[in-house]
Structure formats: structure tokens, C-alpha cells
């Protein structure tokens, strides 16, 4: 069964360092999402891509976070510099397309700990 792949699964870094997460969506899925889930809360959308274009990045802290999906397939989320409050699970999801009733499939996530 096709799955969304994410790496690394776990990342520990020190404050002010740079970190990067990678996501490979299900083959053929045009829409890709990055979510952040803080402990005890639900996932919150950071950025959404349709192919290589950003559709929604209204909740992305653009002073330190960046995301790209250069060829419209895999994607990278970067944080520079990392802060203590960035400790969270970072989830990637993909869907076949934008449109009504379209299901999002989630990857296993990257758990980030900032010391």
C-alpha cells in the first residue's frame, strides 16, 4: 500500500541551529500539506502546496520557517534558527488533488526536540 514517507523520524537539535525535514508524498498526489502538532493539541496546517505552488502558508512563521516543493513531488520544510517552542511533531500529508471530499493521507511524522 502506498504511503507518505518522512525523514528523519526523530530530530534533536539545539536552539539557534537549522533543521530540515523531508517528505515524499504518495505517487501521483498533487497536493501536499505540512502540519505541526504540539503535544496535547491537534495538528495545525503550516503550508499547503498544489504541485509546486504554495496554496496556503498563512500559518507559517515566515521569519524562520521555509518550505519548498521544487518539482512538485517531494518537499522540504526548514527551520532556521530553531527555538524551544518549535518542539513538536511535524506531519506531512498528501491528497490526490484539491477538490470536494478529497482524503488526506498522513506520514508518520518527524518528532523535533529543541534543547
Taking the complex as a whole, the smallest distance from the CB of residue 68 to another protein amounts, in Å, to 18
**What distance lies between CA 29 and its chain's CA centroid?**
15
What is the distance between the alpha carbons of residues 61 and 88, in angstroms, rounded to a whole number?
14
Q: Does 53 sit near another protein (CB under 8 A)?
A: no
Name which of residues 91 to 110 contact another protein (CB under 8 A). 91, 93, 95, 98-109
Nine cell digits for residue 27: 505517487
**E runs forming strands in 28-87:** 31-37, 44-50, 53-56, 65-68, 75-79
- Which contiguous run of DSSP H or E holds residue 88? strand 88-95
Part in contact with another protein (CB under 8 A); list of ranges 13-21, 36-44, 60-68, 74-82 = 36-44
Only one residue has cell 496535547, namely 40
The closest of 87, 78, 80, 102 to 23, measured between CA atoms, is 78
**Nearest approach, Cβ of 111 to another protein (angstroms)?**
8
Contacting residue, 16, 18, 28, 44, with another protein by CB under 8 A: 44
Candidates 16, 41, 80, 113; binder of another protein (CB under 8 A) is 41
Tell me which stretch binds another protein (CB under 8 A): 14-22, 48-56, 64-72, 74-82: 48-56
Q: Site residues (CB under 8 A) for another protein?
A: 4, 9, 31, 40-45, 48, 55-56, 91, 93, 95, 98-109
Amino acid at each position: 500500500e502506498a504511503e507518505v514517507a518522512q525523514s528523519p523520524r526523530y530530530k534533536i537539535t539545539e536552539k539557534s541551529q537549522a533543521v530540515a525535514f523531508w517528505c515524499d508524498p504518495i505517487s501521483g498526489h498533487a497536493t501536499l500539506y505540512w502540519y505541526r502538532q504540539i503535544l496535547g493539541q491537534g495538528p495545525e496546517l503550516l503550508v499547503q502546496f498544489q504541485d509546486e505552488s504554495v496554496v496556503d502558508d498563512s500559518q507559517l512563521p515566515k521569519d524562520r520557517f521555509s518550505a519548498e516543493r521544487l518539482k512538485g513531488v517531494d518537499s522540504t520544510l526548514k527551520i532556521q534558527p530553531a527555538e524551544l517552542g518549535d518542539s513538536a511533531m511535524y506531519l506531512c500529508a498528501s491528497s490526490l488533488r484539491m477538490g470536494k471530499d478529497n482524503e488526506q493521507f498522513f506520514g508518520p511524522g518527524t518528532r523535533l526536540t529543541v534543547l
